[in-house]
Amino acid sequence: MSLSIGIVGLPNVGKSTLFNALTKAQNAESANYAFCTIEPNKAVVPVPDSRLEVLSDLVKPQRVQSSTVDFVDIAGLVAGASKGEGLGNKFLGNIRETQAILHVVRCFDDDDVIHVSNSVDPIRDIEVIETELILADVQVLDNRLERMEKQLKGDKTLAPKIEVAKQLIAHMNEGQPASTFPGEHKALGDLLAELHLITAKNVIYCANVDEDGVAEDNEYVASVKALAAERGAEFVKISAKMEEELVGLDEEEQKEFLESYGIEESGLHQIIRTGFHSLGLISYFTAGVKEVRAWTIHDGDKAPQAAGVIHTDFERGFIRAEVISYDNYVKFGSESKCRSEGVLKVEGKDYVMKDGDVVHFLFNV
């Protein structure tokens, strides 16, 4: 399992600059004009986790494998995108499969950087994007509803799904995202799982500031932060331009650069950490001489489910798990020492995984 995040926003708000910085690769063209991104950009980014480095120093494996995040960047959306305006609408399908949405909003003034609306207004910009995403989702729902109504005569079990689709369309036509639709029942769950509606996903509002806005929040940032809090959504503040400057610096240089601006962690760290939190994800580790590796699972997953992330056979033939907490592994320095000290625990099918567990699975198929 990997975390996947779709990046959306108006044209020229710093999305491609951020994408370049986050992926450590200059493969999303940046320019001072709208629609410079005309193809969806995808990249797989390793999740920074200092625990992985510590385990690697102890085990000395042949290789180290991080968990990953898939970032998907599409062309900027504009008003009317759902009706074909601009270029971003062509690539909405690329972010329907992602788990979360990173909504990048411009929160700085700069006469040299063109704004598609000729003025900076984060709340207005957010409303433009969200309206277009809602309208795009309504189109998907309308098409699915039409097909289901034609199939109803031959399949009466579609009736509950048809009813909930009509209610959801009415809800969204009032300007509300699918995520705020009240109620939980099977027909709704089936419909959302089938259609991957964009407005049903977790949203992280990302305020993009200039260097002057890094240390203190300006009025633009404050307005976005307040909106996120009101909606119970996640919020991060970054400087995409500054993040791009971090590309190519080693770890110590990055630390010094960030400290010079009073920042403790990079935008990449913030976004991934926030994404993990919003989706309820955690990591566990496997550690051997061939490989030390981080694996991403849902908080609350039991041992067999966690084993299944490695291979489906591991879950199907699960026998037991040998588990060492990260803190104990570091304290005693090796699996054999943890075993002799009695801190290696043998767990069964009902064991709920904890963030940072170091695990060896036993299975039989």
Instruction: State whether 273 and 315 are in the same domain.
Output: no
On whether residue 292 sits in a domain, the answer given is: no
Q: How far is CA 259 from the centre of its chain?
A: 26
Residue 334 forms part of a structural domain: yes
Residue 241 confidence (pLDDT): 85
Q: Are residues 352 and 226 in the same domain?
A: no
Task: State the residue range of the domain holding 99.
Answer: 3-278
What is the pLDDT, as a whole number, of residue 43? 75
Tell me, yes or no, whether 325 and 229 share the same domain: no
Distance CA 241, CA 93 (A): 28
Per-residue confidence (pLDDT) for residue 38, from 0 to 100: 44
Beta strand 358-363 pairing with 318-324: antiparallel
The verdict on 256 and 176 lying in the same domain is yes
- Tell whether 175 is covered by a domain: yes
Rounded to whole angstroms, what are the CA distances from 206 to 9, 146, 177?
A: 10, 36, 18
Based on the domain organization, do 177 and 308 belong to the same domain?
A: no
* φ, ψ at 41 (rounded to 5°): -100, 135
Domain CATH code at residue 357? 3.10.20.30
What is the predicted pLDDT for the residue at 75? 66
**55 to 68, 200, 328: CA distances (angstroms):** 18, 37, 11
Q: What DSSP state is assigned to residue 317?
A: T
Split into its structural domains, the chain has a count of 2
* Joined tokens for residue 293: 């590796």
The Cα–Cα gap between 305 and 308 comes to 5
**Token pair of 306 as six digits:** 């966690």
Q: Tokens 């926003």 identify what position?
A: 9
Query: So what's the pLDDT on residue 293?
Result: 96
| pLDDT value for 119 | 86
Specify the pLDDT at position 80.
59
* Domain end point (choices 212, 244, 278): 278
365 residues of the chain, pLDDT tens digit each:
668 899 999 888 888 888 877 766 434 334 444 445 445 577 778 888 999 999 999 999 999 998 888 888 876 666 655 565 554 455 677 788 899 999 999 999 888 777 777 788 999 999 999 998 999 899 999 999 999 999 988 888 899 999 999 999 999 999 999 999 987 778 898 899 899 999 999 999 999 998 888 888 899 999 999 999 999 999 999 998 888 888 778 778 888 988 888 888 888 888 888 988 888 999 999 999 999 999 999 999 999 999 999 999 999 999 999 999 999 999 999 999 999 999 999 999 999 999 999 999 999 97
357: DSSP letter: -
pLDDT at 74: 75
In a domain, 295, yes or no: no
Asked whether residue 307 falls in the same domain as residue 178, the answer is: no
Predicted structure pTM score? 0.85
The number of beta carbons lying within 10 Å of the beta carbon of residue 361 is: 21
Please give the annotated binding residues for ATP, written as ranges.
12-17
Is residue 93 in a domain? yes
- Could you tell me if 221 and 355 lie in one domain? no
333 and 250 in one domain?
no
Task: Note the pLDDT of residue 89.
Answer: 56
Binding residues: 12-17
Domain endpoint, select from 227, 245, 278: 278
Q: Are residues 140 and 7 in the same domain?
A: yes
Q: What share of the chain is helix, strand, coil (3-state, %, to 5)?
A: 45, 20, 35
